[in-house]
Amino acid sequence: MQREIVLDTETTGLNAKGGDRLIEIGCVELINRIPTGREYHVYINPERDVPSEAEAIHGLSTQFLLDKPLFKDVAESFVEFIGQDDLVIHNAAFDVGFLNAELERINLDKIVMNRVVDTLQLAKRKHPAGPNNLDALCKRYGIDNSQRIKHGALMDSLLLADVYIELLGERQATLVLADTASRQSAERRSNRSMHDAAMRPAPLPSRIAPEQKAAHRAFVETLGAKALWVKYLGPV
């Protein structure tokens, strides 16, 4: 079983080392590249104002975040959710930089990059002409992103999960596996139904008329005593 976590964040700005902070984390769990429905989502009080230019991108205001938990209050649940599994992130250096800055502030282990799959790098290798932002990739692969009016960590993680499967070229393989599993399940049900069918309380009566049996016996007797059919005639 392969577990991966698709992850996205929103922040107050672009500089994790210059005072900008995390304000939202969204995660989606994949098992064998299939979303399980398990998600992790939290808004975070950044303990500072949200600049208007950042708010214009994600729609999260200083006022909205005032009553949200601090990162130190959600860190344990976040770390527990992601475990030690691979993280799938678009433009990973940005998100990991902010996550590690927050983890470092409260003396928790930082995320190492060798557990991170950067879908932006995957997209650049597969589509070198670009563009390779999330909206462009959704359009390329026919993924409905009509609800993505503004950036949002959980919404973007859900979209990125679909994009990730397309980038790996595993969408068709997943559909084939699902179809095969469905057929096998139907066959098992069919075999079980045949196996469980009730036996007849008595054999069906023979449909061969007495005169037909007599004609057959007379014919076999003409074949001689050594004929194979003779031993199957039985008593008259």
In a domain, 114, yes or no: yes
**pLDDT over 70 at 167, yes or no:** yes
In a domain, 197, yes or no: no
- E-assigned strand segments in the chain: 3-11, 22-31, 34-43, 86-89, 116-118
Residue type at position 188: R
Whether 151 is catalytic: yes
What sign does the dihedral 152-121-130-3 (CA atoms) show? Answer: negative
| CA separation for the pair 4, 1 (Å, rounded) | 10
User: For position 52, which CATH number holds?
Assistant: 3.30.420.10
Q: What is the pTM of this model?
A: 0.72
Domain that holds residue 59: 3-176
In a domain, 8, yes or no: yes
Q: State the chain's mean pLDDT as an integer.
A: 88
Closest CA to 166 of 129, 138, 133, 124: 138
**pLDDT over 90 at 23, yes or no:** yes
156: CB partners within 8 A, 6+ apart:
8, 26, 90, 134, 148
Active-site residue (options: 90, 151, 195, 216) = 151
In a domain, 152, yes or no: yes
Q: Quick one: pLDDT band at residue 82, thresholds 50, 70, 90?
A: very high
In a domain, 204, yes or no: no
